């Protein structure tokens, strides 16, 4: 069933677990994500980034997501990830995406607020929840969609002001992760996370989850992160499986990659404590 992210993130925020938010760029990924969610009896969050337009149009992304969401046996949300352009995000809302992120975190505070408020006004009139980012999650060693700038940690006072001024539904915070592939394991500030969680009532989101380490991510979920973005780890898992199997034709490559991507996503559902919450409700 096609839903928005409001209820699923509220439940995660209340239950101290996190929902995986993987990006997709083709039909096989969408299908794999929904099949994993159905297998585990968990909600699915399908994320499409503005940066993916070169390989999959927004219109195709929506139709793929809608098709699998409407026939799914679990709640499925279609989310815009890292929407940089106000016009792009408004088109996504009009098209039917059920959740959007405006990422103006590279701008100054005032401009971030201005752009975010514009999207909130537009989306909320249509019943669509909005995520935004304060602080800035920078880039790893191979993340082409970012400019390579360093992360800027989220400050508690700025977070409080930002949420009050924008009336967003969830907020991405920067506590030490980065997009792309790491050299080593990131140093996450759990102390900062605890302070940020106590400062606002809305769900917190963590970008740059890939490569952060299972224990780090499990602890983030336990301490108040309600959604964790992962994509690089899924892509890497698919590529490594193809190489390991020595796949030498396109059909074999797709089948091998799909299996590895699904296995990796299922692993993260467990890491983020989703199954623990399910057992509590049985």
Active-site residue, selected from the candidate residues 23, 81, 103, 258: 81
Reply yes or no on whether the pLDDT at 130 is more than 90.
Answer: yes
Q: What is the CATH number of the domain that holds 105?
A: 3.20.20.70
Mean pLDDT of the chain: 90
Active site residue 81: yes
Please indicate whether residue 153 or residue 43 has the higher confidence score (pLDDT): 43
Mean pLDDT of 59-65: 98
CB 190 within 8 A of CB 219: yes
Tokens found for residue 119: 């999207």
Give the count of beta carbons closer than 10 Å to the beta carbon of residue 26.
16
Res 179 pLDDT > 90 = no
HEC string of 108-167 equals CHHHHHHHHHHHHHHHHCCCCCEEEEECECCECCCCCCCCCCCCECCCHHHHHHHHHHHC
CA distance readout (Å), 151 to 25, 84, 88, 110, 140? 25, 17, 25, 19, 10
Lowest mean pLDDT among 103-112, 117-126, 175-184: 175-184
Q: For 24-54, how does the pLDDT look when each residue is reduced to its tens digit (9 = 90+)? A: 999 999 999 999 999 999 999 999 999 999 9
Range(s) of the domain holding residue 156: 2-280
The pLDDT score that the predictor gives to residue 137 is 67
Give how many domains the chain has, as a whole number. 1
On whether the CB atoms of residues 269 and 40 are closer than 8 A, the answer is yes
State pTM to two decimals: 0.90
Whole-angstrom distance, CA of residue 35 vs CA of residue 29: 10
């Amino acid at each position: 069933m096609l839903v928005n992210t409001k209820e699923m993130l509220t439940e995660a925020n209340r239950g101290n677990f996190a929902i995986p938010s993987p990006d997709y760029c083709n039909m096989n990924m969408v299908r794999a994500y929904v099949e994993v969610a159905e297998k585990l009896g968990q909600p699915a969050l399908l994320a499409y980034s503005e940066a993916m337009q070169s390989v999959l149009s927004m219109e195709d992304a929506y139709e793929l997501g809608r098709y699998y969401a409407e026939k799914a046996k679990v709640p499925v949300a279609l989310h815009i990830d890292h929407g940089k352009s106000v016009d792009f995000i408004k088109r996504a809302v009009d098209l039917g995406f059920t959740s959007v992120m405006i990422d103006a975190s590279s701008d100054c505070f005032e401009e971030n607020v201005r752009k975010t408020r514009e999207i909130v006004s537009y989306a909320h009139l249509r019943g669509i929840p909005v995520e935004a980012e304060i602080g800035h999650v920078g880039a790893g060693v191979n993340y082409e969609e970012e400019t390579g700038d360093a992360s800027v940690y989220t400050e508690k006072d700025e977070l409080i002001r930002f949420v009050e001024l924008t009336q967003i539904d969830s907020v991405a915070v920067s506590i030490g992760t980065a997009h792309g592939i790491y050299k080593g394991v990131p140093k996450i500030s759990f102390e900062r996370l605890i302070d940020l969680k106590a400062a606002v009532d809305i769900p917190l989101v963590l970008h740059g989850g890939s490569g952060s380490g299972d224990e780090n991510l499990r602890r983030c979920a336990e301490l108040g992160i309600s959604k964790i973005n992962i994509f690089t780890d899924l892509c890497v898992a698919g590529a490594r499986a193809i190489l390991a199997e020595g796949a030498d034709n396109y059909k074999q490559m797709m089948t091998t990659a799909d299996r590895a991507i699904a296995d990796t996503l299922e692993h993260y559902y467990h890491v983020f404590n989703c199954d623990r919450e399910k057992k509590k409700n049985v």
